[in-house]
Amino acid sequence: MKKSSLSPTAITDNLGTRLIGQRVIYYPSLTSTNDVAKQKAQQGAVEGTIIVAGEQTAGRGRMKRGWLSPRGSIALSVILYPELAYLPSLIMVASLGVAHCLEKVAGLKPQIKWPNDVLISEKKVCGILIESEVKGKRADYAIIGIGINANIKPSDFPEIPPTATSLSHELGRDTPQLDMIRCLLAEIERLYLALPSGDAVYQEWRDNLVTLGKKVQVRTGETTQEGIAESVASDGSLLLRQSDGSLTKIVAGDVTLRG
């Protein structure tokens, strides 16, 4: 793939969005798109500004884990200035946006594992990291970071766990990165702008969670709990029904399906 294929001009040309992706900043190589996005947000970057990297050398995932983004991956971050009430919904916007584009562009059938892992064939293909700064009763900014294993061979990278896959591995061919990025920007904008209209985004996200109805193990810090993932609250929290019948609300954690 030519380096110019991910140029800001190629990404924004006739994109059709009114907010997200109207300004794109591209770096051939970068430590972390989220780190640069935070710097740009603190400097007053316009809402919807996108940071895209040809590769990340120090990408991050949830729970302070590393996220490998070699060349052939998709790594981008979106700068937003949402109302405070919409912060919990950004994981829904991001994971649904990715899932929609994997289906539209790659023809794959994705699943979403709580809270925001996107899976193909039960293996992780995308990581999402939401970071925000809250001051008082308002959100100063929020960053949606998205990393997709696009055109890479996971077995070539020992750092990538065996529970992960890539689009090219699943398809047997490369996926057009440019088409995927343009789709992501359009879908994220559509879902983001729909948040004030009601619970439609939450309901679609809930209905697409492969986790619900399953026996799961949830790790939160040093604590491990097991039970049935019964539902999710509108703030994104997982409602875990434990063996004694009690219902526990889990705001953040790692979920493993147990059979």
pLDDT at residue 2 in the model: 40
CATH code: domain 3-207 is 3.30.930.10
pLDDT at residue 5 in the model: 79
Tell me how far apart the 2 most distant CA atoms of the chain are, in Å: 58
pLDDT at residue 4 in the model: 41
DSSP of the chain, one letter per residue? Answer: --GGGGSHHHHHTT---SSTTSSEEEESSBS-HHHHHHHHHHTTPPTT-EEEES-EEEEE-GGG-EEEE-BTBEEEEEEE---GGGGGGHHHHHHHHHHHHHHHHH----EEETTTEEEETTEEEEEEEEEEEEETTEEEEEEEEEEE--S--GGG-TTS-TTB--HHHHHTS---HHHHHHHHHHHHHHHHHHGGG-SHHHHHHHHTBTTTTSEEEEEETTEEEEEEEEEE-TTS-EEEE-TTS-EEEESS-EEEE--
User: Prior bond to 161 cis, omega within 30?
Assistant: no
Q: Do domains 3-207 and 215-257 have the same CATH topology?
A: no
- Any idea which fold 215-257 has? SH3 type barrels. (2.30.30)
- Using CA atoms, how far apart are residues 146 and 229, in angstroms rounded to an integer? 25
pLDDT tens, residue order, the chain (259 aa):
344 478 999 999 999 999 999 999 999 999 899 999 999 999 999 999 999 999 888 655 544 555 677 888 999 999 999 999 999 999 999 999 999 999 999 999 999 999 889 999 999 999 999 999 998 888 899 999 999 999 998 888 877 778 899 999 999 999 999 999 999 999 999 999 999 998 999 999 999 999 999 898 888 877 888 999 999 999 999 999 988 888 989 888 888 877 5
pLDDT at residue 66 in the model: 55
Phi-psi region of 36 (alpha: psi -120 to 50; beta: other; left: phi over 0): alpha
pTM of the model as a whole: 0.91
pLDDT at residue 3 in the model: 41
CB-based contact 216:258 (threshold 8 Å): yes
Domain spans, the chain: 3-207, 215-257
Angle between helices 90-106 and 177-194 (to 10 degrees): 140
